[in-house]
Structure formats: C-alpha cells, structure tokens
C-alpha cells in the first residue's frame, strides 16, 4: 500500500475535533476504497508512491463563501470537496505523489445534522465520518448525478464506514 498523507486544519472554534483520530480513520477508509473500488477510481492505471489530501474544518459561513465563489451556489454546505486529481484531466503526479484534493467540512452543520438525526441515534462523530467518507468518494472521482451513481456511492460509503466500526464511534 502506498503512503497516505492526510493533513487537517480546524479553524472552527466550536468543536476541538480529535484530528489524530480523523486522520487514522480517514486513512483506513481510503485504504478500504482503494482495495475495494480502486480499479473504478481516478487512481486506476496510475503509478504513484503516495497520496495526499487535506481536510479543513470550518463553519457554514466559510462553506457558503466557498460555494458562492467557486461553485456558483449561494448557500452554505455541510461539505465541499475540491477533487484536484479526479476533476482535472491535466492532473499530474509530482515526485510520485498524487494530491487528491481537499475536503472542507462545516462543523456547525455537522452538529446541527447530528442533533436533527436523533431518531437514528447518529452522534456528531458519526455524522462527521459519514461526510468524510462521502468526500473521499468524490476525491476518487465518483459522483452521484444519477440514481444509479448515488446508490453506488452510498453503498460504498456504508462498507467503508463499517471498516472503521462506524457503529461504535
């Protein structure tokens, strides 16, 4: 397995996310995805020594700004993914490293989402890892424009989350 470099930055003051745990679980989910669906991802056929990605934790004001400035959408999002490698056909591998991109997560929306999901007993950490698993799918080149694509993404997310014992988080 190639080296996986995950960098985190938390600029949201309302939740001191356990970044070490996030990095560990994100690495495990990415390894799962590579072994399970790597041949269908943007990594297929590429030679690389390492993968790199960033996760930024912020608030919904920041995701609203990013959505407006980069995606022409005027609303705050719980997650925005900038899939650098998957979305650019001119992407390159620099010194054996593939920069997959960046996952930006609004932690205030994660907290709100977990609070609204009381009937399903999803806590904020579970909500967070659900979003990270979704962002990883986008970084690997998967989208969900059709119902079939959506079902595939969700099914793979469920498997990746099981791989990190999501129900015990």
Q: Where are the domains of the chain?
A: 3-168
Task: Please report the pLDDT score of residue 148 as a whole number.
Answer: 94
For residues 55-72, average pLDDT: 97
Specify the DSSP class assigned to residue 97: E
Can you tell me the mean pLDDT for 14-31?
97
pLDDT digits (tens, 9 = 90+) for 126-161: 999 999 999 999 999 999 999 999 999 999 999 999
Could you tell me what percent of the chain has a pLDDT over 90? 85
- Residue 126 DSSP class: H
Chain-wide mean pLDDT for the chain?
93
Question: Computed over its alpha carbons, how large is the radius of gyration of the chain?
Answer: 15
Whether the CB-CB separation of 21 and 7 falls below 8 Å is answered with no
Confidence of residue 121 (pLDDT cuts 50, 70, 90): low
pTM of the prediction?
Answer: 0.94
User: CA angle, 56 as apex, 18 and 123 as ends, to 5°?
Assistant: 45
Mean pLDDT of 48-77: 97
What is the CATH T-level fold of the domain 3-168, as seen in this structure? Collagenase (Catalytic Domain) (3.40.390)
């Amino acid at each position: 397995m190639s080296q996986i470099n995950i960098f985190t930055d938390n600029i949201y003051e309302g939740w001191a996310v356990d970044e070490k745990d996030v990095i560990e679980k994100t690495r495990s989910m990415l390894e799962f995805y590579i072994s399970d669906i790597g041949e269908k991802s943007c990594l297929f056929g590429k030679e690389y020594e390492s993968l790199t990605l960033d996760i930024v934790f912020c608030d919904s004001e920041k995701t609203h700004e990013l959505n407006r400035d980069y995606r022409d959408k005027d609303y705050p999002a719980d997650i925005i993914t900038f899939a650098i490698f998957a979305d650019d056909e001119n992407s390159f591998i620099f010194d054996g490293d593939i920069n997959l991109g960046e996952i930006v997560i609004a932690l205030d929306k994660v907290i709100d989402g977990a609070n609204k999901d009381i009937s399903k007993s999803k806590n904020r950490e579970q909500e967070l890892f659900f979003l990270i698993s979704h962002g990883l799918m986008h970084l690997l080149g998967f989208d969900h424009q059709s119902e079939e694509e959506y079902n595939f993404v969700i099914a793979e997310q469920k498997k990746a989350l099981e791989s990190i014992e999501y129900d015990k988080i």
